[in-house]
């Protein structure tokens, strides 16, 4: 049976201050009226039953993840006790799948990418499943045809086409994030793809590969597998998982495997890696600006302005800026410094100002409020607050009464 595994960790750095450690980008609406993790599930709708969806996340994001994906059984949201990269993450999902389904095929994907059109994505997924069904030892990846010489992605070199499935190729090699001149050569050759981090394989096969290449991690996963569904599960997971080698599935398995297979992705793909992705996804106005929220922009060119706070943001005579305003933070940066946002977070930690790394959320029977919104709810009532659409972080939940309780 086919199962979807959604990898949903993240530390909320790339889209700070909108994203925070307890509300990273996959839990936000950055491209459309559904959050990114909801869109990831939507993308597989009709192809995979809701009971065969699994999410691997962390403890601070688990509650929000379950709230945003109520169709998924709560027990299918797996909580990592520590961040250990994608090999232990996928291994943890694999042992759970095999506990329920010894013949499970895993379709693994990140929670925070934008892919379209859905029909083409599903056709490509079906091709990947056919490859695995015909040869259960195959480890299938999707490769995206480069549209520019990206230096921030890993590359997959295509080898010979498989005889049994058209459009699937043996992987000749993996190349890590290259310098610009190499990235240009890769793109011009036509034989390289971006590695977009979407995979398909048998759950038993990936565990066999982990046993061969990361035996210590595999042994610890087997200890976890032995107690799934018992009272000992949490304690064994909390003991064993943090001791697993923190390594990507690419380094742990794929770059060592002889059965790695790449399918050219026929869909459009964006990893939404920084604020610069927003104009690509949302478009721009006649002045090259991408504006969201209560904003007045005069003589403003090439700016990204996003306001989810209650105050007005006004700009005059500026260009090529990123301006993000929330209830508690206003960030202003040059567009070409979008990758340096994490430096602000590092400085906040150095100064002990860690309150700005988290959303301080308050629960009111299904709606999450920031501190300021909680105060407004007490004075205005939740019905007025919701009607005015003041809370814009995720806007996923519905309040059922006017009480506000601290979480």
SS (H, E, C) the chain: CEEEEEECCCCCCCCCCCCECCECHHHCCCCCCCCHHHHHHHHCCCCCCHHHEEEEEECCCHHHHHHHCCCCCHHHEEEECCCCCHHHHHHHHHHHHHHHCCCCEEEEEECCCEEECHHHHHHHHHHHHHHHHHCCCCEEEEEECCCCCCCCCCEEEEEEECCCCCCEEEEEEEECCCCHHHHHHHHHHCCEEEEEEEEEEEHHHHHHHHHHHCHHHHHHHHHHHCCCCCCCHHHHHHHHHHHCCCCCHHHHCHHHCCCEEEEECCCEEECCCCCCHHHHHHCCCCCCCEEECCEEEECCECCEEEECCCCCEEEECCECEEEEECCCCEEEEEHHHHHHHHHHHHHHHHCCCHHHHCCCCEEECCEEECHHHHHHHHHHCHHHHHHCCCCCCCCCCCCCCCCCEEC
Q: What pLDDT does residue 366 have?
A: 43
* % of the chain beyond a pLDDT of 70: 88
Give the HSE-up count for residue 32: Cα atoms under 13 Å, Cβ half-sphere: 16
pLDDT for 380 beyond 70: no
What average pLDDT does the segment 12-31 reach? 91
Strands 405-406 and 168-175 come out as unpaired
What is the rounded average pLDDT for all residues in the chain? 89
What average pLDDT does the segment 332-349 reach? 95
How sure is the predictor about 376, in pLDDT bands with cuts at 50, 70 and 90?
Answer: very low
What are the distances in angstroms from CA 110 to CA 1, 133, 196, 225, 314?
Answer: 20, 23, 9, 23, 36
| CA 297 – CA 203 distance, rounded (Å) | 52
Q: What pLDDT does residue 385 have?
A: 41
| CA 381 – CA 374 distance, rounded (Å) | 10
| Least confident residue range of 121-125, 318-322, 383-387 | 383-387
Q: What pLDDT does residue 387 have?
A: 35
What phi, psi does 189 have (nearest 5°)? -70, -25
Q: What pLDDT does residue 360 have?
A: 73
What average pLDDT does the segment 278-288 reach? 94
| CA 323 – CA 334 distance, rounded (Å) | 9
How sure is the predictor about 10, in pLDDT bands with cuts at 50, 70 and 90?
Answer: confident
Q: What is the pLDDT of residues 146-185, one digit of tens each?
A: 999 999 899 999 999 998 888 899 999 999 999 999 999 9
Q: What pLDDT does residue 361 have?
A: 59
Nearest to 90 by CA among 55, 64, 60: 55
What average pLDDT does the segment 394-400 reach? 31
Give the HSE-up count for residue 48: Cα atoms under 13 Å, Cβ half-sphere: 28
Q: What is the pLDDT of residues 182-206, one digit of tens each?
A: 999 999 999 999 999 999 999 999 9
Q: What is the pLDDT of residues 59-117, one digit of tens each?
A: 999 999 999 999 999 999 999 999 999 999 999 999 999 999 999 999 999 999 999 99
Q: What pLDDT does residue 32 have?
A: 83
Q: What pLDDT does residue 94 have?
A: 98
What average pLDDT does the segment 220-238 reach? 98
What average pLDDT does the segment 318-335 reach? 97
Q: What pLDDT does residue 62 have?
A: 95
How sure is the predictor about 38, in pLDDT bands with cuts at 50, 70 and 90?
Answer: very high
Q: What is the pTM of this model?
A: 0.86
pLDDT for 396 beyond 90: no
How sure is the predictor about 406, in pLDDT bands with cuts at 50, 70 and 90?
Answer: very low
Token readout for 128 is 């990947």
What average pLDDT does the segment 121-143 reach? 97
Token readout for 287 is 């002045």
What average pLDDT does the segment 119-147 reach? 96
CB 320 within 8 A of CB 306: no
């Amino acid at each position: 049976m086919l199962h979807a595994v959604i990898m949903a960790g993240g530390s909320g750095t790339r889209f700070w201050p909108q994203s925070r450690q307890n509300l990273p980008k996959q839990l936000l609406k950055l491209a459309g009226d559904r959050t990114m993790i909801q869109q990831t599930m939507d993308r597989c709708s009709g192809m995979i039953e809701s009971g065969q969806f699994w999410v691997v996340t962390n403890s601070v994001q688990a509650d929000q993840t379950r709230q945003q994906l109520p169709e998924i059984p709560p027990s299918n949201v797996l909580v990592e006790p520590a961040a250990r990269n994608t090999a232990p993450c996928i291994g943890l999902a694999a042992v759970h799948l095999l506990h329920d389904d010894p013949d499970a095929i895993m379709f693994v994907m990140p929670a925070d990418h934008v892919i379209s059109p859905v029909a083409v994505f599903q056709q490509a997924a079906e091709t990947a499943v056919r490859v695995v069904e015909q040869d259960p030892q195959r480890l299938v990846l999707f490769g995206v045809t480069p549209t520019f010489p990206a230096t921030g992605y890993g590359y997959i070199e295509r080898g010979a086409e498989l005889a049994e499935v058209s459009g699937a190729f043996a992987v000749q090699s993996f190349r890590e994030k290259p310098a610009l001149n190499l990235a240009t050569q890769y793109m011009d050759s036509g034989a390289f793809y971006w590695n977009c981090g979407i995979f398909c394989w048998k759950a038993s096969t990936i565990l066999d590969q982990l046993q061969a290449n990361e035996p210590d991690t595999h042994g610890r996963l087997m200890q976890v597998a032995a107690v799934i569904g018992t009272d000992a599960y949490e304690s064994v997971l909390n003991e064993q998982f943090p001791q697993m080698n923190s390594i990507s599935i690419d380094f742990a398995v794929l770059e060592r495997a002889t059965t790695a297979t790449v399918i050219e992705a026929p869909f459009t793909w964006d990893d939404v890696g920084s604020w610069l992705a927003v104009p690509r996804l949302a478009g721009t106005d006649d002045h090259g600006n991408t504006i969201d929220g209560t904003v007045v922009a005069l003589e403003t060119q090439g700016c990204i302005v996003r306001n989810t706070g209650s105050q007005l943001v006004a700009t005059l005579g500026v260009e090529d800026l990123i301006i993000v305003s929330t209830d508690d933070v206003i960030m202003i940066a040059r567009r070409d410094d979008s990758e340096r946002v994490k430096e602000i977070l590092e400085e906040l930690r150095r100064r002990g100002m860690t309150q700005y790394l988290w959303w301080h959320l308050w629960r009111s029977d299904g709606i999450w409020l920031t501190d300021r919104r909680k105060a407004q709810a007490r004075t205005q009532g939740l019905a007025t607050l919701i009607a005015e659409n003041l809370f814009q972080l995720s806007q996923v939940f519905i309040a059922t009464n006017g009480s506000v309780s601290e979480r």
